[in-house]
Chains A and B, each alone.
Chain A
Amino acid sequence: MNFTLFVTALLTGVGFVAVVTILATLLSPRSFNPQKEEPYECGIPTRGRSWMQFRVGYYLFAILFLMFDVETMFLFPWAVVMRSLGPAGLFSVLFFLFILILGLAYAWRKGALKWH
């Protein structure tokens, strides 16, 4: 039943956007003007392409995110059974967390967290 509902919600979202877009297209007026199709840039014609090279900082944070997100994902099964594991479960996962924090400290020390 849950999967049915999940698919229902998914289709509702897609259908909502599709139907309302069609409705808006039918309702809205239309006018043609070559200036209207220009990309917005404070009133002057835009120069060059916008699909260009980007600052490496964003990429660096994305890589760091990938690492930490995957590692926190591993912690979910542990967190669910934490209560039944007791102190032993805590101390065994402390090593894992220690490595995680070490990774953060390394990135920090290397200056990966600094916005150049």
Chain B
Amino acid sequence: MFDFSVISQWLHTLLLSFLPEWATILVESVIVALVIITLYAVFAIVLIYMERKICGFFQCRLGPNRVGKWGLLQVFADVFKMLQKEIIKMRQTDRFLHDLAPFFVVTASMVTFACLPWNKGGHMIDFNIGIFFILAVSSVSVVGILLAGWGSNSKYPIIGAMRSGAQIISYELSIGLTMLTVICLTGTMQISEIVQQQSELGWNIFRGHLPMVIAFIIYLIAGNAECNRGPFDLPEAESELTAGYHTEYSGMHFGYFYLAEYLNLFISAGIATTVFLGGWAPLHISGLDGFNGVMDAVPGIVWFLGKTFFVVFLLMWERWTLPRLRIDNILTLEWKYLMPISMLNLVLMALLVAYGLYF
């Protein structure tokens, strides 16, 4: 399997050969920043197009099909239109908090985005507390949503923000517990090591059999709720709250929330891929050497993106199939079903690990 760190090492030594160390780090940071922004923009565009097409097909429509071939340029047109719209300054808002909210939302999703392992050696941020770090940073976005609702000083946004706060922090618990289940099995929190382990021993979802499958399903449900999507989109329920917490945002200010929502979807799918479906690790079936050889020939990034977009498709399927829940249904689902189940699941996993009953 191709190791991406060869390229980064080569670049590092090349830069060190004619630059002092601080300048090398500076240049590398700028490169990383450009890579993050480019990938962020590209994936936002791909995901928005994908969502609109898939939603169209689920509802027996065609989706966007006028701008460009198969509507491919529709999202670009939307972005340029949004850039040209006025950012309206409301009279009663708390201007500082109102303008601060997009910073929180976008920054949180960008830092989490930088934690994903794209390929062998192709990761940006790789702390030894990887998963814990991701959980910590991704939950900062709820601060941005609450600020957006509170700073707007309008009735719909504040209802949306409060709902969103209650919902996101509740589902955070299930995500934490499913991640604990994974860590029990892997014995490490470092993202690159978790994937490395899976490339040698098989994907976690196969290694940990039953508890891992339960954890994966719980993660899919909670991941959709974390992004304010799917049947859990009542913070921005358009039929009751207009647009929820971003009602008072116009133009590009609204665009940030839209961008962050889709990137958060990609990030939750990416984390699910990393911890359950093996990240960039190819599919191996022990005993079939020819098959494994063919699978190894496919580059890691193709595996990662393929699996991630598969999970994205699952999450979109969930969104466009199920009707929206009420706030008390959502909290009941989390506190009375998902959380006890994921706790028992953790105990089951610990039992299997303690007695070595995993593959």
Contacts and interface: CB of A to CB of B under 8 A. Distances in A.
B162 A37 contact: no
Interface string A71-112: 011011001111111110110011001001100100010000
A82 B36 contact: no
B219 to A, nearest CB: 15
Contact of B114 (A5, A37, A65, A87): A5
A90 B347 CA distance: 8
A33 B339 CA distance: 50
B348 to A, nearest CB: 11
Nearest to B89: A37
B83 A69 contact: no
B88 A11 contact: no
Contact of A82 (B153, B252, B354): B354
9 contacts: A9-B36, A20-B256, A30-B86, A40-B248, A50-B158, A79-B183, A83-B187, A97-B343, A104-B340
A62 B331 CA distance: 12
B40 to A, nearest CB: 8
Contact of A5 (B88, B125, B154): B125
B103 A12 contact: no
A108 B125 CA distance: 40
A9 B187 contact: no
B169 interface: yes
Contacts of A94: 347
Interface in B29-71: 29, 32-33, 36-37, 40
Contacts of A14: 103, 107
Nearest to A101: B343
Interface of A: 2, 4-6, 8-18, 20-21, 23-25, 27-31, 36-41, 46, 49-51, 54-55, 57-58, 61-62, 64-65, 68-69, 72-73, 75-76, 79-87, 89-90, 93-94, 97, 100-101, 104, 108, 113-115
Contacts of B177: 72
A9 B84 CA distance: 27
B165 interface: yes
Contact of B88 (A37, A76, A89): A37
Given A39-B92, A81-B187, A21 B253 contact: yes
A23 B84 CA distance: 9
Contacts of B89: 37
B110 A13 contact: yes
A79 B180 contact: yes
Contacts of B336: 108, 113
A39 B252 CA distance: 18
A64 B339 CA distance: 12
Contacts of B152: 39, 50
Contacts of A4: 25, 29
Nearest to A25: B87
B354 A2 contact: no
Given A36-B88, A82-B184, A113-B336, A65 B354 contact: no
A40 B107 contact: no
A96 B293 CA distance: 46
Contacts of A38: 90-91
Contact of A113 (B32, B99, B253, B335): B335
A101 B340 contact: yes
Interface string B90-117: 1111000001001100111111011000
B83 A23 contact: yes
Given A40-B247, A104-B339, A65 B91 contact: no
B110 A28 contact: no
Nearest to B352: A90
Contact of B165 (A25, A39, A62, A68): A62
